[in-house]
Structures are given as C-alpha cells and as structure tokens.
A and B are shown apart, each in its own frame.
Chain A
Amino acid sequence: MTRYILRRLGWMVVVLFGVAVVTFVIAFLVPGDPARLYAGTNASPAAVKIIHHQLGLDRPLLVQFGDYLWRVVHLDFGYSYRYSAPVLPTILQRFPATAELAVAGVLVELAVGLPIGILAAVRPGSLWDRITMVFTFVMLAAPPFWLGLLLLIVFASLIPILPPGGYGDGLPQYLVLPALTLGLGGAAYYARLLRAVLLDILPKEYIRTARAKGLTGRRVILAHALPNALTVIVTQLGMDLGYFLAGVVVIETVFAWPGIGKQAVDAIFNLDIPLVMGTVLFGALLIVAANVIVDITYTFLDPRIRY
C-alpha cells in the first residue's frame, strides 16, 4: 500500500516535470520579445534591451530552463504583465471563485444525475427510461456556452428572476445559472453512468439472492446495488472536480465569473504569457493531484483491490 502510494507520487512528479517542459517550450514559441510586452507598446528599443537583460533572456536556453524549474519548484510562476503582479498570487486570488463554482457544479451533477440514473435503472426499457436516456443524450450534445446563454435568455431576460452573470460578491443567486450550466451536462453523464453500472450489478448473484428473499426492485437497488455502484461514481467525481478546478473556461466566460479560467482567457488575448502558462501549470497540478487522490481513495473504497 505504502509502496503503491509512493509509486503514484513518483508518477505525479514525472508527469509534472513533463508538463513544465512543454509549457516552457511553448512560452518560447511566442513571436517577438517578451521584454517588449513587459516594457509596454511605447517603450524605446533601449528600454526593451534593459528589460531583456533584467529578465535574463540573454542567457543560454538550458540555463533559463533550469532557472525556470528552480523557480517553479519554489512556487514562483513568474510575473504577469497584465496585472503588474506575481503570477501565483494573481491566480490564487481568483481561485476561490473557481473552486466555489466547481464544487457547486459537482453538486448539481449529483443532485440531478443520480436520481435520474436510479429511476431509469429500476425499470430498464420503460418509457421513463427511454425518455431520460434521450434527454441525457441531448444534454450531452448541447454546447455548454449555448446552454448557458439559453438559461440567460429564459431566467434573466424573459422571466428575470436571476442575475445575468457576474459574481455579485458571492451572493448565492449569482451562482445558480453558472452551476446549472456546468452541472447539467455532467448530470446527464452521471445518469447514464449510474444506470449502466446498476444494470451491470443487478444480475449478479447476491442481488438475485436479495430478490429471492422477496425484496422489491427499489429496495434491492437502494440497499444492495447502490453502495457498490458508488465506488465508480466517487472515482469519476474526484476526476471531475480536478478538471473543474483546473479552470472552467467556457462557463466563466459566458457568465463573467471572476475565476482563473476567465482570467487566463483575458490573459491570452493580452499575450500575458507568464499568467497563461502559470494557469496551465497550476491546472495540471490540480488534475494530476486529483488523479492520485482518486487512485488512492479507490483502494480504500474497494477492498478487493490489493497492490
């Protein structure tokens, strides 16, 4: 067990190193001199040269990469041109908003997705099952930005009961539409996933025994099949949270939600490369961490797995 955990952590380091290499290379593909962006569009060539040197851009590439890695390990992700501030604090300042949205999104996924999945699994092939499955297909196909805009048309414009985007100092009504948009696609996925896992488990021997003992379909599902299906759900949930935390770019853009995804997109259009690459690195860290945590949790949830 300990060896397994250590191996996963080692894997995490290797992958993050790879991510750092890629982001470094990409940052070097930027056309033009970063020093010029740093200096501002009106800077004189002399000023650019001074800044070029200050940024250490005249050193050999490998030295710069070593320096970059050293700084990344010490949590120094560089300096943002757009915000005139260090990158990591700039990201962390926006991160709570993203985290809030991510958690709310995951809650919507569960609250909507699980009941639908269970009800569909109780009577597979029934009308209800077929309707919900078509519905989930449609939800999975709807582009998230469009779904968000439709919700805005309905709930902020036609029946103006919810605010049309923005953060609103954390007031809950501002969270409703973004969380719904974020969660509905996922809810459809969870509904399908749960239904599938339940149908897979139901014919199993012990369920048959439970039925033989006279338990109703619903009780069988709730008491016996569901706990087993939950391992799969929890795994998926952990991964989802990782991806969501890494930046819910589209939803934040649609609803002007002040998280790290929206910030990174703004940074891209200002060619604020340090902030963009810092966010990518930060996101990768969260995704990889979520992966490892899920793997380790899985070993506890499912005692059959031994390493």
Chain B
Amino acid sequence: MDPPRRSGWLPVWYRFRRDRLALFGGAFIVLLVLVAILAPVLPIRNPNHGYYELLPANGQPVAPGAMFVLGSDANGRDLFSRIIWGSRVSLFIGFVANGLALVVGVTVGILAGYFGKWVDTVLMRFTDVMMAFPVLLFSIALIAILQRSGNVLVIAAVIALFYWTAVARIVRGQVLSLREKEFIEAARAIGGRPIRILVGHILPHLTPILLVYGTIGIATSISTESILSYIGIGVQAPTADWGKMVSDGQGDLQIAPWLVIFPGLMIMATVLAFNLVGDGLRDALDPRQRSLSRRAFGGVLAGGQALAGQLARQSEAESV
C-alpha cells in the first residue's frame, strides 16, 4: 500500500466513489457529524427536560406517537432529542480515543520497527502484556477503581490504552518492510538523521494504512464506549448516551421496547458506517485487492495485515 502521489489521490477518490456502500456510509457520517454539531440550535426539545406532567400516574414511559416521535423514557424525556444529543458523546469519544491510540501506537510501532534490537524487544513485550489482558473486564475495573466513571476523557483514554497495541503492531510490521526499501536505505546512506527519516520518509508511507485503520478504529472505539456505558461505568446521568440509554431502557423491555431499539439502532448504524468507509478506503487505496479479509491473508503485507485481522477479531471477541 504505497502512498498515492499528490495527483494520486484523485484515482483513489474515483475508485472510492464507485463503492456505493462506502459512499452511503460516508454520507451517513457527514450527516451525523452535522447533526451532532448543530444539536444545540436544532428545533428539538431539551434532551434533559423531563415532561413529568405528560407521564401517567404509574410512571409508564409514553409510546412513540404524536406527543413524542420516538416515545419518552421513564423521566418523560424526549427519546428523539436524546438520540440526537447522544451522537455528540459517541463521536467525541470515537475521535478522541482513536486519536490517542493512533498517536501512541504509531510512536511505539515506528520506534520498535525502525530501531529494532532491544528497543523492539522491550516495546513488543510490553505490547504482548497489554494484549494478554481480558480487555473489556480490565477497562471496566480500571475506570471503576479510578472512580472516574462519567468522565468522558478518562473513558476515551482507557479505550485508547488497549487499542493502541493493535496500531503499534501494524505500524511495526509496515516499518520493518519499509526499512529495507531502497529509498530508505539511500536516505540512511547519505547520513540522514533518524528523526528526519522517520518523519520525512516513513510516516508518509504509513498514511494510507493509518487512514484505513483510523476509520475502523473509530468504529471500534464507539462500540467499546457503548459497551462501557451499557455496563454502567460510562457517562454520568443525565447525559444522553446511546449505550446508557439501552442500559436504562432494558428494565422496561416488556413495557417500552422502543427505549432499547432506537438507541441500539444508532450505535449499529454508526459503527457500520465507519466500517464501510474503512473497507471502501482500503479497496480504493489498493485496487489490486478487493475485500477486507482477502487482503488480510494475501498480498505483499501478509504478516502485518494478518495480525491486524486478528486484532480486530480480538476486540470483537472481547467485547462480548
């Protein structure tokens, strides 16, 4: 996956736009980001205002209908408004957690891959240790022990704490193969300082793969955040958050299923959109191979990519 030259991004776009699923995902993401940014000025109800006067005496949530488009929750709050506002938390954590993971993962991966020897050994053993943890359980324990449940930045940091290992391994694999390439050897031969070579020559070559895994990483982060909130250590009430809304609504499953159905749909749609775009980007950046998993087990970068597939599977397997 060589980086496209400056003019080379255009063919990538042409190829990307032929992928209708990826385009659809991209459009959904753009719409979601717009809605999230504009939520305060949209003509919708305050997501945290409880219309107690509209609830019956036994406190049963109001079903979707004329009063509330998607129904109300047990506090008489407008589910539609809460879903709109929930996008802010999901997207924020998705971007921040993924950004942190990329920064740490790229740094560790580049250092390990480029310098090799004991640097590689130490960093990769540490990565092994981090990957040996039952991630989800450990994240929950960490947030609970730090008593910072409800703090979105801490939640993002804890998600990043485990996801960076995947990035580090992919980047290391890439750097290992890049290091042997002629232009890098040439740069080294003429006495280029490591930092120049890393930033000037290696990093640009990582852009495509970071773009792909960055996009998929956002999906992973959003889905992990929803799980943390579902378990009960995510955002603080009354903040509208999709995972927490499902969690709060599940007790009312038999009398108010809409409280579970709609927020869950949003999580699924958002994760799906980011995954489709990530997959589309991968195909567009490397026209020789078409499918996500196919690339993972064939082609020039077999080692690193196979690993990436496994890592994606790990976070998938552990989030259950």
A residues at B contact (CB < 8 Å) = 11, 14-16, 18-19, 22, 26-27, 29-31, 105, 133-134, 137-138, 140-146, 149-150, 152-153, 157, 181-182, 185-186, 189, 192-193, 195-197, 199-200, 232, 236, 239-240, 243-244, 246-251, 253-254, 261, 264-265, 268-269, 271, 273, 276-277, 279-280, 283-284, 287-288, 291
Contacts and interface: CB of A to CB of B under 8 A. Distances in A.
B136 A284 contact: no
Contacts of A232: 297
A243 B319 CA distance: 10
Contacts of A30: 145
A29 B253 CA distance: 37
Contacts of B125: 14-15, 18
Contacts of B219: 141
Query: Residue among B125, B128, B279 with the most chain A CB within 10 A?
Result: B128
Contact of A185 (B133, B243, B294, B316): B316
Contacts, number: 193
A27 B317 CA distance: 26
B99 interface: no
Interface string B281-320: 0000000000111111110000000000110011011111
A14 to B, nearest CB: 6
Nearest to A261: B137
Contacts of B298: 196, 200
B293 A195 contact: yes
A143 B226 contact: yes
B250 interface: yes
A133 B272 CA distance: 12
A15 B21 CA distance: 41
A120 B65 CA distance: 42
Interface in B107-142: 125-126, 128-129, 132-134, 136-138, 140-142
Given A15-B129, A19-B129, A143 B268 contact: yes
A182 B316 CA distance: 10
B319 A141 contact: no
A189 B310 CA distance: 10
B254 interface: yes
B313 A189 contact: yes
A126 to B, nearest CB: 14
A271 B145 CA distance: 7
Contact of B132 (A16, A134, A251): A16
B81 interface: no
A26 B271 CA distance: 31
Interface of B: 21, 125-126, 128-129, 132-134, 136-138, 140-142, 144-147, 219, 223, 226-227, 230-233, 243, 246-247, 250, 253-254, 257, 260-261, 264, 267-269, 271-272, 275-276, 279, 291-298, 309-310, 313-314, 316-320
B132 A15 contact: yes
Given A149-B250, A182-B320, A240-B317, A246 B137 contact: yes
Contacts of B313: 189, 236, 239-240
A29 B320 contact: no
B132 A145 contact: no
B263 to A, nearest CB: 8
B121 to A, nearest CB: 10
B233 to A, nearest CB: 8
B320 A150 contact: no
A244 B292 contact: no
B28 to A, nearest CB: 12
Contacts of B132: 15-16, 18-19, 284, 287-288, 291
Nearest to A242: B317
A138 B136 CA distance: 22
B296 A137 contact: no
Contacts of B21: 134, 137
Given A31-B147, A239-B314, A249-B136, A276 B227 contact: no
Contact of A265 (B140, B254, B291, B292): B140
A26 B137 contact: no
A283 B297 contact: no
B253 A153 contact: yes
A193 B261 CA distance: 29
26 contacts: A27-B145, A137-B272, A137-B279, A141-B219, A143-B226, A143-B230, A143-B271, A144-B227, A145-B243, A146-B268, A153-B253, A153-B260, A186-B317, A189-B316, A193-B297, A195-B291, A236-B313, A239-B317, A246-B137, A249-B136, A254-B250, A264-B141, A265-B231, A268-B140, A280-B133, A283-B134
Contacts of A277: 141
Contacts of B226: 143
B314 A146 contact: no
B133 A146 contact: no
A243 B314 contact: yes
A243 B317 contact: yes
Query: Residue among A181, A243, A248, A265 with the most chain B CB within 10 A?
Result: A243
CB-CB nearest 7 A-B residue pairs: A146-B264, A196-B293, A18-B129, A283-B134, A141-B272, A196-B294, A246-B134
Contacts of B279: 137
A271 B233 CA distance: 13
Given A240-B313, A284-B132, A200 B126 contact: no
Nearest to A198: B294
